[in-house]
Amino acid sequence: MAHAVPLLRPGHHLQLLEGSRAFFPALVAAIDAARTEVLLETYIFDFTATGAEVAYALERAARRGVTVRLIVDGVGTPELPAFWRDRFDQAPVQWLVYSPVGALGLLWPGQWRRLHRKLCVIDDSVGFCGGINILDDFHDPNHGPLASPRFDFTLRIAGPLVHEIRATIERQWSRIAALGQLRRARWSGALQLLRTATGRAAPPPAPADSVHANVRAALLLRDNLRRRAIIERAYLRAIGRAREEIIIANAYFVPGGRMRRALVSAARRGVRVCLLLQGRYEYFMQYYASRPVFGALLRAGVEIHEYAPSFLHAKVAVIDGRWATVGSSNLDPLSLLLAREANVVVEDRGFATQLRERLVAAMQDEGQRMDAAAYERRPPLQRAKERLALVVMRALLAIQGKKYL
């Protein structure tokens, strides 16, 4: 039976961090304060620029006796550079690769089921969950230097969810080992985690004016077993209950029929629906496959704003100024049908207000609102690319045994 959306629990302290410029200093500070363990799971670990600062922090922690475990995805991070493999082995930083790609690459059934989560726990006392990879804001592995920073968010968390995040990473580590993936790993040091709480340092403090205290929150973990629709279900429930405003910022937005109908229904009952989406070309399939769904949304009165300064990688939403989510899940078939994802859902007016203000500013100052009439006049070549992108996406899904209507 599929899991229901979990109840939100109180007692969390949350800090919203925008981009690697805010996330990496907070992460490095927490790692440098670690006394017993650091568990990190990420889709991409890129060692360029400030990404190397995180790597050095992991190395420092391991060299002073902290148990450090790193999991990366086999597509997002197919291999670690030789320089860093050697340093991690010597430290020792333990690391594993989730589902390395074989000779047939992504054509092999199941290979699109990626580990897309971005999670970290330090000493079971502070955690991080969001959409930001270990990747410098001003660097793109495919497009090179960026003139403006990538737009994305993560959360620094203290409270009950930290233990859930820790258990999640531990389970993933054990599963990779059980599946025989250790042939792609490099092991050094003892394998037993230090579980004692004696001598643990308190999590490094965050600026008081940016922390939201006693927040109600829940961790949503999408997998391909019992929690296949948990993140989509949370979105649909919140959208269905919306009465005033829905703001969604999403990098790869190719919503299925249920999501499209929910947004159209909300707009038609008088809810202001605003989408902040990727405005710059990044990947052919994700960029063009999203365009055909815009027509019905625009006709229903949905506002679509395309983010212009840089790549938008945010996976966040705010509804009615109280409900919010921050995480790794896009609203596309790769995230909603195939990938392992992690989102935090929050119900707190102060937190939602902070996130909403940043999204509204991005729409007003850094976005370009799509004109419905101009959309209908888009040229035949663009329409052909859109149809091709949808065909490619559906073919890839068919290989994985999935349909997305």
pLDDT digits (tens, 9 = 90+) for 348-359: 999 999 999 999
- Do domains 12-208 and 215-399 share one topology? The answer is yes
Annotated catalytic residue 320: yes
pLDDT at 400: 76
Annotated catalytic residue 365: no
Active-site annotation holder among 12, 46, 73, 116: 116
What ranges make up the beta strands (E) of 74-152? 94-98, 119-122, 126-130, 139-140, 144-145
Annotated catalytic residue 209: no
Q: Are strands 94-98 and 367-369 parallel, antiparallel or unpaired?
A: unpaired
Annotated catalytic residue 315: yes
Annotated catalytic residue 118: yes
Please, are residues 256 and 351 in contact by the beta-carbon 8 Å criterion? no
pLDDT at 197: 35
Q: Which CATH superfamily is domain 215-399 in?
A: Endonuclease Chain A (3.30.870.10)
Please, are residues 72 and 114 in contact by the beta-carbon 8 Å criterion? no
- Looking at residue 70, its amino acid is L
User: For the chain, what's the residue count?
Assistant: 405
- Better-predicted residue by pLDDT, 380 or 186: 380
- Looking at residue 110, its amino acid is G
Domain 12-208 indexed as CATH 3.30.870.10: yes
Active-site annotation holder among 124, 313, 332, 348: 313
User: 189-237 pLDDT, tens per residue?
Assistant: 333 333 333 344 444 555 555 899 999 999 999 998 889 999 999 999 9
Average pLDDT of span 245-273: 96
Please determine, for residue 404, whether its predicted confidence score (pLDDT) is greater than 80: no
pLDDT at 190: 35
Q: What six digits make up the tokens of 396?
A: 């890839």
Predicted TM-score (pTM) of the model is 0.91
User: 112-151 pLDDT, tens per residue?
Assistant: 789 999 999 999 999 999 999 999 999 999 899 999 999 9
Please, are residues 131 and 1 in contact by the beta-carbon 8 Å criterion? no
Annotated catalytic residue 123: yes
pLDDT at 210: 81
| String of DSSP letters for 157-188 | EESTHHHHHHHHHHHHHHHHHHTTGGGG-B--
Q: What is the overall mean pLDDT for the chain?
A: 90
User: Which residues make Cβ contacts (< 8 Å) with residue 358, sequence separation at least 6?
Assistant: 16, 18
Average pLDDT of span 4-32: 95
- Separation between Cα atoms, residue 283 and residue 339, nearest integer Å: 18
Phi and psi based region of residue 348 (left: phi greater than 0; alpha: psi -120 to 50; beta: remaining): beta
Active-site annotation holder among 46, 123, 152, 332: 123
Active-site annotation holder among 73, 124, 152, 320: 320
Active-site annotation holder among 12, 118, 212, 305: 118
Query: How is the chain split into domains, by residue range?
Result: 12-208, 215-399
- Looking at residue 240, its amino acid is G
